């Protein structure tokens, strides 16, 4: 039996007092690649925020990388996020630091001490996303696609049990989106578990995988042909 990385049972998600999603039931297993689709405002981002502790889960059951979302305390959240790799639409790179310094900052902030180990890990993740030669560049010197590759490398630094990619191709042109998607698919083939929120149906058709849809305050699995 595969290891469950994420499970929600009869979960209800609120944004403040507003009901966003109800009766959510989903299991994600180690090695899965799962899409989460739906229109803007359908609850994809709120769902993601609940998984990394930005929104509290107050109804139902939920567990992510062995953290119980119902009993999650504020001081547990940094430890939860160390076991998650989070990729955002807008990259969130520090503009005043080089690519190497961006990644070094994350390692230092998450408790790494040995500089040799830190350097080795930075080079390792840059290799994985094909950006080893960009370590000295500043973020503004890179294209959008290159910046997103760096954001994916950053998400890999602490060897996460689950990568949450929230509209990772949302700010990219179609060709660059394909390139970023190839990186994510390669990571998945090498064992990384990925949950990706997207509204880019062309990518889903090109790279079919298990798909859930947010619609009418519910999440349900959809068959590929009906996407």
pLDDT tens track, the chain, 227 positions: 679 999 999 999 999 889 999 999 999 999 999 999 998 889 999 999 999 999 999 899 999 999 999 999 999 999 999 999 999 888 889 999 999 999 999 999 999 999 999 999 999 999 999 999 999 999 999 999 999 999 999 999 999 999 999 999 988 999 999 999 999 999 999 999 999 999 888 999 999 999 999 999 999 999 765 44
Q: What is the pTM of this model?
A: 0.92
Give 54-101 pLDDT, tens digit per residue: 999 989 999 999 999 999 999 999 999 999 999 988 888 999 999 999
Structural domains of the chain, with CATH = 4-226 (3.40.50.300)
Q: What share of the chain is helix, strand, coil (3-state, %, to 5)?
A: 40, 25, 35
How far apart are the C-alpha atoms of 30 and 5, rounded to whole Å?
A: 6
The 10 Å Cβ neighbour count of residue 128 is 18
Q: Are 139 and 99 in contact (CB under 8 A)?
A: yes
Backbone phi and psi for residue 7, each to the nearest 5 degrees, phi listed first: -145, 135
Give the pLDDT confidence score for residue 63 in this predicted structure. Answer: 97
According to DSSP, the residues that pair with 63 across neighbouring strands are: 7, 68
Give the pLDDT confidence score for residue 2 in this predicted structure. Answer: 76
């Amino acid at each position: 039996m595969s290891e469950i990385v994420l499970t929600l049972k009869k979960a209800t998600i609120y944004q403040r007092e507003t009901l966003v999603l109800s009766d959510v039931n989903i299991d994600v297993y180690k090695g899965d690649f799962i899409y989460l689709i739906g229109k803007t405002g359908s609850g994809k981002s709120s769902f993601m925020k609940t998984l990394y502790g930005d929104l509290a889960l107050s109804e139902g059951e939920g567990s992510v990388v062995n953290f119980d979302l119902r009993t999650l305390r504020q001081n547990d959240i940094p430890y939860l996020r160390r076991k998650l790799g989070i990729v955002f639409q807008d990259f969130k790179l520090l503009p005043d630091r080089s690519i190497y310094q961006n990644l070094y900052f994350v390692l230092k902030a998450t408790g790494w001490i040995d500089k040799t180990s830190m350097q080795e890990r930075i080079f390792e993740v840059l290799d994985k996303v094909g950006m080893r030669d960009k370590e000295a560049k500043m973020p503004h010197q890179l294209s959008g696609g290159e910046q997103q590759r760096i954001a994916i490398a950053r998400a890999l630094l602490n060897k996460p049990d689950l990568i949450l990619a929230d509209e990772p191709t949302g700010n990219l042109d179609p060709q660059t989106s394909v390139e970023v998607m190839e990186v994510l698919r390669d990571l998945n083939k090498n064992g990384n578990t990925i949950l990706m929120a997207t509204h880019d149906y062309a990518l889903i058709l090109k790279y079919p995988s298990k798909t859930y849809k947010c619609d009418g305050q519910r999440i349900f699995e959809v068959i590929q042909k009906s996407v």
